[in-house]
Amino acid sequence: MTRYKLILEYDGSPFVGWQRQDNGPSVQAALEEAVFGFCGERTTVQGAGRTDTGVHATGQVAHVDIEKSVESATVAKALNAHLKPAPIAVLAAEPVGEDFHARFSATGRRYLYRILCRPAPPAVLRGQVWWVPQRLDPNALQAGADRLLGHHDFSSFRASECQAASPEKTLDELRIEARDCGPGGLEIKVHAAARSFLHHQVRNMVGTLRLVGQGKWSPERVTQALEARDRRAAGPTAPAAGLYLTDVTY
């Protein structure tokens, strides 16, 4: 038996999330069916991040155990063939030791959140960004983001259904990148990095920062929300469509 590490890209729009569920198609189930179609084996594909409904990935990592002896390039090619027409691609596959675990061996995760600020709604990027009709102030966004860096109790940015043992996390990066795009348009990218995140943490932080970017909140109020340790003290949850899991480190 060989354990393979898989690097994955997917459009989360048609899925109920990464994890296999009874209420709709999942990325995990699609991959497991592709493994069965390729080698006739029923196995579990373990992912590094349990992305939610509608969340995308450009650098998700997973692992799978396969008894059939095949080359790595063949694994990726065969899985991609059996994944069609699902919007999932295996970018790479490589054999790893039995002690490797996509989720528990990870030492860091990076997410990207994309916001499109312009009066006109997205057409090509529909389902890929959060459309905000008003222009946001990138400097104000960064000032608010800086208040969240470091080790904190992130209860104010934690979903009620979060199963993490502790609300304490260390946020290593929360960086704002902005560029003009098209007539009157501004694309804002929020880069977030940490060893791990709470459920909805990134989306709740982005939803809060939007209020700062609109001038409705001061950066100081972000600190107040953080220190409250109460979800009701922070801003709304940003939509899933703008969120991407971009990298997992080991």
Cα gap 205→191, rounded to integer Å: 11
Amino acid at 240: A
Q: Is 22 a catalytic residue?
A: no
Phi, psi values for residue 31, rounded to 5°: -70, -40
Cα gap 197→121, rounded to integer Å: 30
Phi, psi values for residue 211, rounded to 5°: -65, -35
Q: Per DSSP, which regions of 83-203 are E strands?
A: 88-96, 108-117, 130-132, 150-153, 168-180, 186-194
Q: Which candidate in 11, 22, 52, 65 is catalytic?
A: 52
Contact 211, 217 (CB under 8 A): yes
Question: Tokens 């709470």 identify what position?
Answer: 198
Of 109, 74, 80, which Cα lies nearest the Cα of 4? 74
Please give the angle made by the CA atoms of 173, 212 and 195, to the nearest 5 degrees: 20
Residues tagged active-site: 52
